[in-house]
Amino acid sequence: MEVIIRPTKFDAAMLAARLLAEKIRKKPASVIGLATGRTMECVYPKLVDFHRNEGLDFSLVRTFNLDEYIGLPPEDKNSYRHYMNHHLFDHVNIDLRNTFLPDGMAEDVELACAQYEEKIREVGGIDVQLLGIGRSGHIGFNESLSALKSRTRAKALTPITIEENSTLFDKPEDMPRRAITMGVGTILEAKSIILLVTGDTKADILAKAVEGPITSMVSASAIQLHEHCHVICSADAAEQLEGADYYNWIFENEPEWESYR
Ligand code: GLP
């Protein structure tokens, strides 16, 4: 794992977007795992910008989102399908048929989850998975005690997640209490991972995820098991990282980061 600390949330998002863009340039038919949430709202405009101004080509890219609320149809403005169309897909040359999210309206949720896993396998797995982190330590919607080997399934959301996300709904009580999410095991099978964390409200959980023990109480800590994982964070989110000086030294001195400084 490498931790990269950037001065602001915009610098952090820019670095995450550049790493994703580089992956797509190297492999135009990349399979990209995508995340939603406020943190990612700084990333997608950069990708749109790279598409418009630098010709970043999404025509062969396939995407799989981490999660979707159960009970929200795609046209609902709080659904993650709507989020993705609005923030990214509507503004780049991606074929919408190559964009996948779990089906929150599925009659048979278990079957829909199994089919989602199958689809990921069919395209050869995810090349790079973008992740955010919830204050509960979740990645996707893998709330505390999610098995580290879990697969795509329905999950009940914790009170802290409901408190965090219900403010995005016109009527907070309308926020679904359950969601379909890729499992921690599904996420760990991605060939590489970028975890993006910004804001001082995430400082405590980021330190637990990166420097604490691997525990299902903090699902994000499972990324410590991954061989190709970049954690990109803003300075305020990094405030509680004990190894910050070391992480900064690596970013400032290792040749692989030269073009990103
Ligand atoms: C959301 C998503 C996660 C996201 C996290 C953080 O609800 N399910 O994939 O990473 O919670 O969201 P935010 O960036 O808004 O803090």
CATH of the domain at 234: 3.40.50.1360
pLDDT at 48: 98
pLDDT at 245: 98
Residue 250 CB neighbours (<10 A):
14
Distance of CA 26 to the CA centre of its chain: 21
Rounded to the nearest whole angstrom, what is the distance from the C-alpha of residue 68 to the centroid of ligand 1?
Answer: 11
Asked if the structure places residue 115 within a domain, the reply is yes
- Closest of 56, 74, 52 to residue 18, by C-alpha: 56
Which residue range(s) make up the domain with 41? Answer: 2-246
pLDDT at 5: 98
Asked if the structure places residue 258 within a domain, the reply is no
pLDDT at 150: 98
Residues facing residue 232 across a β-bridge: 4, 196
pLDDT at 77: 97
Asked if the structure places residue 251 within a domain, the reply is no
Q: Which ranges of the chain have pLDDT less than 70?
A: none
Best mutation site among 43, 165, 197, 236 for ligand 1 pocket (most ligand atoms within 8 Å of CB): 165
The model scores a pTM over 0.95: yes
d(CA 141, CA 155): 7
pLDDT at 207: 98
d(CA 87, CA 47): 10
Asked if the structure places residue 45 within a domain, the reply is yes
3-state secondary structure of 229: strand
d(CA 259, CA 192): 20
pLDDT at 215: 98
Rounded to the nearest whole angstrom, what is the distance from the C-alpha of residue 135 to the centroid of ligand 1?
Answer: 9
Asked if the structure places residue 256 within a domain, the reply is no
Asked if the structure places residue 253 within a domain, the reply is no
Rounded to the nearest whole angstrom, what is the distance from the C-alpha of residue 254 to the centroid of ligand 1?
Answer: 31
Question: Quick check: 102 and 181 in contact, CB under 8 A?
Answer: yes
